[in-house]
């Protein structure tokens, strides 16, 4: 009986997260209320409070549900014992863009994060967590590049900090633009070319080289 109760609780939590994704996508973070989510799920607001303390915690759980699998893959790329860090990072990047092109959940969550979450200081705690997540992701990318340099896959004078910064700008730009106008091009078909353009820049752009030491 306890097992069934636990399974029911997990199922209810997932229904609430599904509803949160849809309502946050439709109305944006600031305009969404817990009653909106509960009504969409066909539940009471008390059902939400059983699983989540407030709207911020509900939002974090929604984001975490798609981020956790992605973070584990990025962490694998950053492992200093990975024999092919650049190849693994390329594989992850291509797979992510292809998945985004067809996965409605990913599309909605990233649309909410990029287009429908207002960074206006009203939810400072949540914004700080988002910043912390961004910084941790950057550190994983930098570790991946350091390992790739060590294994001869990238130039020894690569400006790792700038390369990681540009990675964010490049791929966030792709996500932002495609999610805004998804019919403009087939993201899945363009995935390899888009990723390889960035990796070509890593290896060949003179502007991503550290200045020669005297």
For the stretch 80-129, pLDDT in tens is 899 999 999 999 999 999 999 999 999 999 999 999 888 766 678 888 88
Distances in Å between the Cα of 118 and the Cα atoms of 29, 32, 100 are 7, 12, 22
Place of tokens 């008390």: 46
Residue 186 pairs in a beta bridge with none
Task: Assess contact for 48 and 134: CB atoms under 8 A.
Answer: no
Count of CB atoms situated within 10 Å of the CB of 197: 11
115, 180 Cβ separation under 8 angstroms? yes
Q: Is residue 116 within 8 Å of residue 24, measured between CB atoms?
A: yes
Q: Is the pLDDT of residue 214 over 60?
A: no
- In order of their start, the domains of the chain are 1-52 (1.10.10.60), 65-208 (1.10.357.10)
What is the value of pTM for the model shown? 0.85
107 near 100, Cβ under 8 Å? yes
- pLDDT, one tens digit per residue, over 80-91 is 899 999 999 999
């Amino acid at each position: 009986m306890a097992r069934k109760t636990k399974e029911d609780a997990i199922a209810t939590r997932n229904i609430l997260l599904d509803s949160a994704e849809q309502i946050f996508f439709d109305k944006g973070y600031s305009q969404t209320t817990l009653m909106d989510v509960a009504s969409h799920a066909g539940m009471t607001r008390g059902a939400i409070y059983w699983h989540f303390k407030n709207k911020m915690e509900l939002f974090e759980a929604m984001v975490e549900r798609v981020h956790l699998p992605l973070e584990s893959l990025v962490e694998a790329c950053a492992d200093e014992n990975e024999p092919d860090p650049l190849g693994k990072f390329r594989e992850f990047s291509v797979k992510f863009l292809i998945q985004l092109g067809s996965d409605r959940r990913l599309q909605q969550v990233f649309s909410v994060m990029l287009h429908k979450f207002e960074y206006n200081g009203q939810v400072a705690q949540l914004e700080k967590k988002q910043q912390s997540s961004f910084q941790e992701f950057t550190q994983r990318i930098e570790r991946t590049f350091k390992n790739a340099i060590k294994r001869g896959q990238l130039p020894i004078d690569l400006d790792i900090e700038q390369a990681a910064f540009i990675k964010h700008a490049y791929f966030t730009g792709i996500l932002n633009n495609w999610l805004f106008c998804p019919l403009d091009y087939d993201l899945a078909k363009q995935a390899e070319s888009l990723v390889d353009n960035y990796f070509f820049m890593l290896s060949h752009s003179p502007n991503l080289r550290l200045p020669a030491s005297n």
